[in-house]
Structure 1
Amino acid sequence: MTEILIPNQDRDFEVLKCQILKDKGFDCSQYRDTYVKRRLAIRLRANNLFSYRDYAKLLNSDPTEYQELMAAFTITVSAFFRDASVFDNFRENVIPSLIQDKRRKKQKIIRIWSAGCASGEETYSIAILMYDFLGANPENFIISVHGTDIDGASLAKAKKGEYTFDEVKNVGVDSLSQYFVFEQGKYRVSDKIKGLVKFEKHDLISGKPLAHFDVIFCRNVSIYFSRAMHERLHKEFCNALNTDGFFVLGKTEMLYGAARKLFKPVNVKDGIYKK
């Protein structure tokens, strides 16, 4: 479908962004303007409007429209073991290195953050690989995979842990039988995997800083942010990582500015770096 194109409305666009920030505390300036305009175009089209000024009036007269606008800004694309080579690399290289480092330091706690987890597929994928690697005898390691997202509806689905056949199509047959229970036409994540996972609502831009993680996944999330926000987030992720921790970006993403000096490349093709 062709997007609504709104030329020569730069001032109204800026005024609208300020209004959204004032009313909802949502800072559009941290995102790329092209992304913000695409999201706004969705809501203008839905309301048969053709200007930012008219949409600002709608938000003033009908505050419930903000719920639809915030939903339009939320990206909920997720899949189990999305980009298979990344998870292969995580299983074959990152996990063994991480476990070896923990044994050397005589540490038992392993904390992993799946930032922008949407409906939980990535988070559960990580937990499955950790459980699978450690086997029936986890050597008393305490594994915690922390999934966060800004969208409450996506988090509700993640916590429920129930997926359709199409949603688990990337899960291998053995893993499907071992880590899922088929009930009422859906595949439910088993309790042994759920026990490793915690989901929480968190805004990467304005939320409280998180810390003490051994691995952070933030894939295909920051591509919607401005370059300045890219740099800020990458620095904050570095601060949130333990020494020798791993940072996993999306395959098409890259480090910017000072963040390039904060991480060492492990596998650039798969977006894997080390603090």
Structure 2
Amino acid sequence: MENRQADAVYRGNLSRLLEKVHAERGLDMAQYRPRYVERRLSSRLHALGLHTYRQYATYLDENPDEYAKLLDTLTINVTQFFRDPTVFELFRKDILPAIIKDKSARHQRMIRVWSAGCATGQEPYSLAMSFLDAMGSKADQFLLTILGTDLDRNALAAASRAEYDLALLDQIPAADQQRYLDVHGDHFSIKPRVRRHCKFEYLNLFEDRPIHVVDVIFCRNVFIYFNRAEQERVLGVFWSALARGGYLVLGRSERIGAPVSQQFELVSGRERIYRKPLNML
């Protein structure tokens, strides 16, 4: 206990550093235990030869690229199927039925989904399985397209192959495993009936032509890598991309700033789900 207290005094005020990171990048660390954050930060200080949080704060000001390394360290940014199960539980239980009901009532067949920062494809395939399950016997009545975009071309190539190590199988609900996967020895693949709804493209959110008229955007644990001005710019892209009544899903440690948040309706604060109003002036 004494060593821990001495270490905390030696490094300085952790709260001030976390407030800085939140102000600069919008990362809310309230969900993490202080001791966990201290251990993660310690690895960055050690790597840079620094001793105090104040020194590290100065280093962040002088070297903005360090934010990416810090955020990787803090968030353990590992992509996986159905990441944060409670997000997908809410999405499948409440949001998907609402989307399908609204599309049916309007006699609209097209459903478009955008996974921004899709990495090696686990999120788009999780979304495809979720939609197919929700549509059930009505699946042929809709034209479902899920677009996964990323800056990493190697990751996009892996996503297109749709083959994954068997160790990842437990991330997928048992019912979805039976319906949507084929197991081959030490790996499994996504069945064609799921794959045909997914496509993958390189896209830079700041430079490339934006996507339009999508019903759902998942952009999770990507947003925190941008500064406030960049976040507002990307939110503008998402706002323009979303159809009226469309949903935006962010990472659980990400928040929309006050000016922009007033444009969206809050669906779930805990799960960071927002909606573009259906009825707009």
Normalising by structure 1, report the TM-score.
Answer: 0.75
1:81 maps to what in 2? Answer: 82
- By how many angstroms is 1:184 displaced? 3.9
Alignment of 1:6-155 (within 5 A): 33-36=65-68, 77-155=78-156
* Separation in 2, partners of 1:127, 1:241: 18
2:262 maps to what in 1? Answer: 261
Alignment of 1:93-242 (within 5 A): 93-242=94-243
Q: Percent identity?
A: 35
* Separation in 1, partners of 2:254, 2:245: 21
- Greater mean alpha carbon deviation, residues 253-262 or residues 93-102: 253-262
Task: Indicate if the aligned counterparts of 1:76 and 1:119 stay in contact, CA closer than 8 A.
Answer: no
- Find the residue that maps to 1:252 and give its secondary structure: coil
Task: Indicate if the aligned counterparts of 1:3 and 1:38 stay in contact, CA closer than 8 A.
Answer: no
What amino acid is aligned across from residue 261 of structure 1 in structure 2?
Answer: Q
Any idea what the Cα deviations from partners look like across 1:236-269, whole Å, max 9, x if unmatched? 1011000110110111111114311221001111
Select 1:3's aligned residue among 38, 47, 62. Answer: 47
Structural RMSD (CA): 2.4
Any idea what the Cα deviations from partners look like across 1:63-95, whole Å, max 9, x if unmatched? xxxxxxxxxxxx972100000010011101111
- Greater mean alpha carbon deviation, residues 249-258 or residues 191-200: 249-258
* Separation in 1, partners of 2:158, 2:211: 23
Task: Indicate if the aligned counterparts of 1:213 and 1:242 stay in contact, CA closer than 8 A.
Answer: yes
- Find the residue that maps to 1:214 and give its secondary structure: strand
- By how many angstroms is 1:174 displaced? 2.0
Gaps of 5+ in 2: 1-42, 277-281
Gaps of 5+ in 1: 18-31, 43-74
- By how many angstroms is 1:142 displaced? 0.4
What amino acid is aligned across from residue 4 of structure 1 in structure 2?
Answer: L
Task: Indicate if the aligned counterparts of 1:76 and 1:118 stay in contact, CA closer than 8 A.
Answer: no
**Number of equivalenced pairs:** 223
- By how many angstroms is 1:119 displaced? 0.5
- By how many angstroms is 1:177 displaced? 1.9
- By how many angstroms is 1:229 displaced? 0.8
What amino acid is aligned across from residue 209 of structure 1 in structure 2?
Answer: P
Task: Indicate if the aligned counterparts of 2:77 and 2:221 stay in contact, CA closer than 8 A.
Answer: no
- By how many angstroms is 1:139 displaced? 4.8
Task: Indicate if the aligned counterparts of 1:76 and 1:154 stay in contact, CA closer than 8 A.
Answer: no
- By how many angstroms is 1:36 displaced? 4.8
1:69 maps to what in 2? Answer: none
1:20 maps to what in 2? Answer: none
* Separation in 1, partners of 2:184, 2:267: 40
Query: Aligned in 2, Cα 1:272/1:175: closer, same or farther, shift over 3 Å?
Result: same
What amino acid is aligned across from residue 187 of structure 2 in structure 1?
Answer: K
Normalising by structure 2, report the TM-score.
Answer: 0.73
